[in-house]
Amino acid sequence: DTEVTQTPKHLVMGMTNKKSLKCEQHMGHRAMYWYKQKAKKPPELMFVYSYEKLSINESVPSRFSPECPNSSLLNLHLHALQPEDSALYLCASSQGELAGPTDTQYFGPGTRLTVL
Amino acid sequence: DAKTTQPPSMDCAEGRAANLPCNHSTISGNEYVYWYRQIHSQGPQYIIHGLKNNETNEMASLIITEDRKSSTLILPHATLRDTAVYYCIVHSNSGYALNFGKGTSLLVTP
């Protein structure tokens, strides 16, 4: 099973709202990722968690706040977003450092976010 | 990770083999070639990866040239559901970004 689930599938929020995106995997993976994908562009990395600790933050604005409450869950808390933050937000997971020379990332279906 | 070059678009008739090329002339010895695809508005789907030997799984075959500077993804019998953007990615490090590049938009026609 290589399933990564994400909720919600779609989210519409105003610029003053606070919302959260959720991601879950039960593959025993120890690395989890958030990517952002704008229309007609490839996905771009936002954050990486390794063993539930933030290991990479690709200079993402503080209005995006990731959280990894346990090894199966990854959240992305959203606050005071701008319309240009509208995008497809993708979660991925991989085995992490224990994978050896290859470490395949598996993606969820994404959350389509619209900021009004 | 090394950069990759792919044609922006390709067409393939349903039932025929789709051969998607990728150039990665600056690939280094410890980097693998990964292929993902993304069907419209869905998350990227892992297809296959390889180091230097040809690889085959239930979805596709991956042919890597001997000098490892290019590769070809083969979908042996393309169906309409194979219409997607196909990304060739060179990657070595666990826990780091996949650099997707622009990919090839494959259109499978009836």
| pLDDT: which is higher, A23 or B97 | A23
Nearest CA in chain A to B103: A42
**Can you tell me the distance from the alpha carbon of B87 to that of B109, in angstroms, rounded to the nearest whole number?**
20
Tens-place pLDDT, residues A8-20: 999 999 999 999 9
Tens-place pLDDT, residues A93-110: 999 877 777 889 999 999
Chain B residues touching residue A2 (CB < 8 angstroms): 46
**Can you tell me the distance from the alpha carbon of B48 to that of B104, in angstroms, rounded to the nearest whole number?**
16
**Can you tell me the distance from the alpha carbon of A66 to that of A43, in angstroms, rounded to the nearest whole number?**
17
Cβ distance B4 to B24 under 8 Å?
yes
User: pLDDT band at B86, cuts 50/70/90?
Assistant: very high
Chain B residues touching residue A112 (CB < 8 angstroms): 41
**Can you tell me the distance from the alpha carbon of B22 to that of A87, in angstroms, rounded to the nearest whole number?**
27
Chain B residues touching residue A105 (CB < 8 angstroms): 46, 98
Q: Do B96 and A56 touch (CB under 8 A)?
A: yes
Tens-place pLDDT, residues B2-38: 689 999 999 999 999 999 999 999 998 889 999 999 9
Tens-place pLDDT, residues A28-76: 999 999 999 999 999 999 999 999 999 989 999 999 999 999 999 999 9
Residue B56, pLDDT above cutoff 70: yes
Picking from B41, B98, B102, the nearest residue to A105 by CB comes out as B98
Q: Do B43 and A105 touch (CB under 8 A)?
A: no
**Can you tell me the distance from the alpha carbon of B62 to that of A16, in angstroms, rounded to the nearest whole number?**
48
A-B contacts (CB, under 8 Å): 67
Residue B30: what pLDDT?
86
